[in-house]
Chain A
C-alpha cells in the first residue's frame, strides 16, 4: 500500500510541468492549427512515398509514385464509370445501413427491456458477432450470385452488431429518475418515447451508426473484390489483373476517401443533434 502511494505520488509530482508547458505552445490549441498539423502529415507521407518510389527504394512496378496515383485519381473523377462504381458501393452500403437500423431498433428494444428475450438471444448474438462477413461470401454467392442482393446480405450481417450493441446500452441507460419523472407527470407513451427515450438513446445510436457505416463500406468493397459484384472493389481487382496499377491505387484511394467522408458526415450530424451532451459541450468549450 505504502509503496504504491509513493510510486503514484512521484508520478504525479513528475507530471504537472510537461503538459502545462506543452499546452502553451501547442499549435493544436486552435482548429486551424489542428488542420495544418493533420494536412502537413499527409503531405509529408505523400512526399516520402514519392521519394521512395522514384529512387527505386520501393519497386516502382508494384508501387508507382504518389504523383502518378494522384493524377490518375484526378482523371478518374471525370469518368462516368468511376462514379457509377462509387455509387454502386455507396448506395448498397447506405441501403444496408437503413436495413440495419430497421432490424436493430426493435431488436435492441426487446433485448434492453424484455429480460427473457435478452437471455434467450444472448448466445446467438454472441455467436454471430465474431463471424467475419467475408466468410459468408460463398453463402451469399450461392443465394444471390454476384449481385447487390449478396452485398446487402453480407453488409447487414457484418455491420449490424455495433449499432445493435450500442442501442442495447442506450436503452439500458435511459435513467430511472427521468422515467419516474415521466410517469409522475403522466407524459404518456408518445411523449415519453419521443422526448425522453429517443433523445437519451441518440448519442449511443449515432456512435453505433458511425462504426456500422465504416464496416458497411469495408464489407461492400471486400464482397465486390471477392464476390465480383459491381463497385469500387471490383474495379480494384479488374485494374490489378489488367496491370493498371496507378488506376488500382487511385481506386483504393477513392475507397478510403469514401469511408472518411461517410465518417465525417456522421460526425457533422452529431454536432447539432447532440449539442446538449457533456462530451459535445466539452469539445465546444475547448
Chain B
C-alpha cells in the first residue's frame, strides 16, 4: 500500500465504500454495514462496508484466501454474520431474500443431475409462477443464454460452459433484482470464459439486473464491472473501491486495447499484490 498509482476515482485515495457510483444508477439496493464473520477464534470478515446501487455491475476481487465466498454467502442470507448486517431493499437480511438469486461456481453441483435443464430452471419458479406461465419464461431465458432448444437435455449431457449457462438461465428466470455470482467462470476453459463474460454483460443489459460478481481474476473484474471492490487478505476488509469508467458496450478486443483498461488493470493488480503480501506477512 506504499506505492499508490494515481487514479481517476471520483474520491481520490479514500477507501470510501459508500462512494456514489457514476450517475445513471438508481437508489441503493444492497448495503453491507460493518459486516463481520468469524468461525470460532478465526476472523474471516473484519467489518466490510459496501453499497451497491440499482443497475450497477460490481466486481469484488480479493487475493485467494480472502473471505470472498463467505462475504457472498452473508450477502445472500445463506450465512448469518457475527456482526454488522446486510441491508437489501431497505430490510435487514436474515434469510435469502426473494428478489436475490445466486449463481454458484460449482455448476456441476448446483444443477440437479436428475432433472432436465428446463426442469432445473423451472424448479425455483414452482413457488413463484403459475404452471401455465413457466414454459414461456424457461424458453425466454434459455434463448437469452444461447441454449434454445436444449431444455430437454440433462446437465451431464452438456459441456461445463453450457451447464454454467443453464445455471445463469435459472438465475435470470427467477427475475431477481440482484444476481450474485460467485466465481462463476473459475472452472471453465479460457475460450468459454470469454464467451460467458460477454453473455453476462448482454443479459445484464437485456434483463436490467444488478450484478455482484465475485472473482479472483483481475482482467475479468475490470472488463465486466462498473466498479471494482478490492478486498484485503483475511481478516477481510474493503481496501479500495475503484470506478471503472470504460465505455460500454465493452468489447473483448477493443476495450482491452484502451490505455485506460491497461491502467485500471495495473492498479487493481498492484492493490491485490499489496493485499496478498500484507496477508502473508501478517
Contacts and interface: CB of A to CB of B under 8 A. Distances in A.
Interface of A: 175, 177-178, 180-181, 183-188, 191, 195-196, 199, 276-278, 281
A195 B112 contact: yes
Contacts of A276: 113-114, 154, 156
Interface in B93-113: 95-96, 98, 100-102, 104, 106, 109-110, 112-113
A180 B78 contact: yes
Nearest to A198: B114
B86 to A, nearest CB: 13
By Cβ-Cβ distance, the 6 closest A-B pairs, closest first, are A185-B124, A177-B109, A184-B102, A276-B113, A276-B114, A184-B96
B76 interface: yes
B114 A181 contact: no
B73 interface: yes
Contact of B123 (A177, A180, A185, A278): A185
Given A187-B123, A187-B124, A188-B127, A178 B154 contact: no
Contact of A184 (B76, B109, B113, B126): B76
Given A180-B78, A181-B104, A186 B110 contact: no
Interface of B: 73, 76-78, 95-96, 98, 100-102, 104, 106, 109-110, 112-115, 123-124, 126-127, 154, 156, 170, 174
B123 A195 contact: yes
Contacts of B123: 185, 187, 191, 195
Contacts of A191: 123, 126-127
Contacts of B96: 183-186
B51 to A, nearest CB: 21
A235 to B, nearest CB: 43
24 contacts: A177-B104, A177-B106, A177-B109, A177-B110, A178-B109, A180-B104, A181-B110, A183-B95, A184-B77, A184-B100, A185-B123, A185-B170, A186-B98, A186-B127, A187-B123, A191-B123, A191-B126, A195-B112, A196-B112, A199-B114, A276-B113, A276-B114, A276-B156, A277-B113
Contacts of B113: 276-277
Contacts of B104: 177, 180-181
Nearest to A179: B78
B136 to A, nearest CB: 19
A185 B120 CA distance: 11
A175 B104 CA distance: 13
A4 to B, nearest CB: 32
Nearest to B98: A186
Contact of A181 (B73, B102, B156): B102
B127 A187 contact: yes
A9 to B, nearest CB: 31
A93 B76 CA distance: 49
A278 to B, nearest CB: 8
B203 to A, nearest CB: 18
Contacts of B98: 186
B83 to A, nearest CB: 22
A181 to B, nearest CB: 5
Nearest to B113: A276
> Most chain-B CB neighbours within 10 Å: which of A177, A187, A188, A199?
A177
> Most chain-A CB neighbours within 10 Å: which of B102, B123, B170, B174?
B123
A279 to B, nearest CB: 12
B110 A178 contact: yes
Contacts of A281: 156
A203 B211 CA distance: 37
A284 B174 CA distance: 35
B109 A175 contact: yes
